[in-house]
Amino acid sequence: MTTNTADTSMNIHEILKHLPHRYPFVLIDRVISMEVGKEITAIKNVTINEPFFPGHFPYHPVMPGVLIVEAMAQAAAILSFKTMGALPSEESVYYFAGIDSARFKKPVSPGDQIVFNVQIDRILKGIWKYNATAKVDGEVVAEASMMCILKSI
């Protein structure tokens, strides 16, 4: 496991190296800061052009809560890969193992910028546990505890 206390930002090109996801499922636009082995702060710029808005909901577009949680998990995956000093590969998949205490406090709409903060709670037997929050304009819009695991395929 890599330990580096320096803050690290990442642009979309670096993010794509650390996530196996591609359009339309990349939900992180930029990493603002990261303390490898500890926490990450990342953003998602929510636009009306998102592929889910025509169906959720046409007259009052709202970002689905499950996608907000997925974005938190993608931020967690970036942090985990950086912490492991590894990159995603075709031989493995980083899976959700559990989502606990998910709460949605306020809708997210086009024009919002979501700021995600994900902290590693613990790593035990290859299972990573995180605490995550999503904020818009400084207000919590969602929060969850998540577990993920890297599995060989």
Q: How far apart are CA 135 and CA 153, in angstroms?
A: 34
Q: How far apart are CA 118 and CA 121, in angstroms?
A: 9
**What length is written for the chain?**
153
Active site residues: 56
Q: How far apart are CA 127 and CA 76, in angstroms?
A: 12
Q: Exposure of 2 by Cβ count < 10 A (0-12 exposed, 13-18 middle, 19+ buried)?
A: exposed
Q: How far is CA 90 from CA 13, 102, 106, 153, in A?
A: 19, 30, 37, 8
Task: Say if strands 113-124 and 127-136 run parallel, antiparallel, or are unpaired.
Answer: antiparallel
